């Protein structure tokens, strides 16, 4: 994968995060890519849907699985603007996503390199390759701005 592709996918996820912010949701966006094509996308929608599971990653996984007609996203990549929580990391594992790229770290709620470090647990079913930091500055700035407006 080229740096150009990484920036493109990171920018698409960030656009989705901005959509979430515009709706008053925590600004997190995610896409699922297969063979260079976006097959699923989502942004945080827990408040709008009255659904605590409507995180960006879950929405993108649901859309990608519907597009492919399967519950397995083998060979796919996910791009997300924030380190996934335990629920989303579990869904990524169960969907068999091959590679996870996330922009900003989440020391409080993340479960990939913080907290439970789900993919490092011996009982984790599937462990994707993990890449952190592409688009981190922009994603972190969007999150900071969102929360500073609410405090």
Alpha-carbon distance values, 140 to 26, 68, 81, 105, 147 (Å)? 12, 32, 8, 8, 11
- Burial class, 101, CB count within 10 angstroms (exposed 0-12 / middle 13-18 / buried 19+): buried
Angle in degrees, 0-180, between the axes of helices 86-94 and 56-68, rounded to the nearest 10: 20
Backbone torsions φ then ψ of 121, nearest 5 degrees: -80, 135
Catalytic status, residue 57? yes
Which one of 25, 41, 57, 77 is the catalytic residue? 57
Considering Cα of 126, then 90, then 21, then 139, what sign does the dihedral take? Answer: negative
The residues that are catalytic are 57
């Amino acid at each position: 994968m080229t740096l150009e592709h990484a920036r493109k996918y990171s920018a698409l996820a960030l656009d989705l995060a901005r959509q979430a912010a515009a709706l008053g949701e925590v600004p997190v966006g995610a896409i699922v890519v297969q063979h260079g094509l976006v097959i699923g996308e989502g942004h945080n929608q827990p408040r709008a849907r009255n659904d605590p599971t409507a995180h960006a990653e879950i929405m993108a996984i649901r859309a990608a699985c519907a597009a492919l007609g399967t519950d397995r996203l083998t060979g796919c990549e996910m791009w997300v603007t924030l380190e996934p929580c335990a629920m989303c990391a579990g869904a990524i594992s169960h969907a068999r996503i091959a590679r996870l790229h996330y922009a900003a770290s989440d020391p409080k709620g993340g479960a990939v390199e913080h907290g439970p470090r789900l993919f490092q647990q011996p009982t984790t079913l599937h462990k994707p390759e993990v890449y952190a930091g592409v688009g981190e500055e922009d994603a972190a700035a969007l999150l900071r701005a969102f929360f500073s407006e609410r405090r």
